[in-house]
Each structure stands twice: as C-alpha cells, then as structure tokens.
Amino acid sequence: MSEKNIYELIKSRRSIRSYKKDSIDKAILDRIIDAGVWSASGKNMQNWRFFVLTGKSKDDYLAFSQKSWLSIKDILQKRLKPSLYEFTERFFYTLGNAPVVILAFAEINDQDNPQTQLGNVYLAINNMVLAAQYEDLGTCIMGSPLEVETEIRKFLKITRDDWKLVCGLTIGYPNHTPPTPSRQLDNRVTYLD
C-alpha cells in the first residue's frame, strides 16, 4: 500500500486499459467497494447498486464489451490517432485483462432529481477509483456499457425498471503507464465575489 496524500492520488490517477493478470485480494476489493458506499449522496439516498464481476462472469461480460465497441468505433476512429484507436479496440475486446469489472446502477425514484441520483453513483465510483489508486491498482471508468444496457440487464437478470445503468469500472494492477494528460484550464473555472 502506498503512502500518498489525496492530491497526489488525484493527480497520479490515469485511465488504465492494460492490466497484469494478477488477481486482486478479496480484502482489498472489499475496501475499494466500501470506499464507494461511504461516498456522499443527495438526501443520503445511497441509491447505488453494484455488480462485481470476476472469473467466469467477467469473461462472459466480454461479449457485451465487444458489442458496445461496434456502437462507438466510428466516432472514436474520427477522434483518435490510428495507434490509439487500435489500442482502444483491443481494450474493448479484452478489457485489458482486468480481473474485475464493476457495473454500477442507480435506483431512480421520485424523491429527487434523476440527474442527482445518477450523480450519486458517480460520486461512489470516484471514491472507488481513488481507493484503488491508493491500493496501487488501476481503473478505467466506462460509459460504453450504456450502448448495450438492455443486454446487460438481461445478463444480470435485472427486472426492475427503476434501476438505470450508469457506468462500468475495470480494476486491476496496471500493465502500462499512460502519459500525463494536459489539463484544460482556460474558461473552465469562474470565481465570483
């Protein structure tokens, strides 16, 4: 376990798309998930629902990841350099060999704005990302599962209409070190007195 302060954790986080095949100790994974459930939530709803896929369930999920690639590949081909496009395509077909995939859902009700309820789940995911970073693990938050939500719901046997898929999260020991991305600061923050 590394000794990093919160600002170092935030600035050292990268989206990891290639993982070592090492499994994650269950106690470490439980700590990461626990960090998620201790996040803030509007009206203290704690309306997140997490499905943690490992082993065969994670391997079976790859079919959905591959299908989601077909929905977004044309957009990414226009935005990415050819080498990065190929790297990203490999990630979708293998999930970078991540040993764990978490699928995060929000239980949506009429007690608060749906956007706030979706945001609650992202707050929990962000806590998990930072906890994983603290544990020297890498993560990648994925919006692509939304492209195949209907199939994922069937795969997970979810019948409740009020549970909405928010994102996926891969977790594992990094097998690469992505470059530090530049930060876009112009016109992003406005201070008012």
Pairwise CA distance, residues 18 & 177, whole Å: 9
57-85 b/e (C-beta count within 10 Å ≥ 16 → b): ebeebeebbeebbeeeeeeeeeeeeeeee
Q: Write out pLDDT tens, residues 35-82.
A: 999 999 999 999 999 999 999 999 999 999 999 999 999 999 999 999
Which domains, and CATH codes, for the chain? 16-172 (3.40.109.10)
* Four-residue CA torsion sign, 79, 144, 30, 176: negative
Q: What is the chain's Cα-based Rg? A: 17
Give the 3-state secondary structure of residue 106.
strand
pTM for this one?
0.94
Q: Write out pLDDT tens, residues 125-142.
A: 999 999 999 999 999 999
| The one-letter amino acid at 8 | E
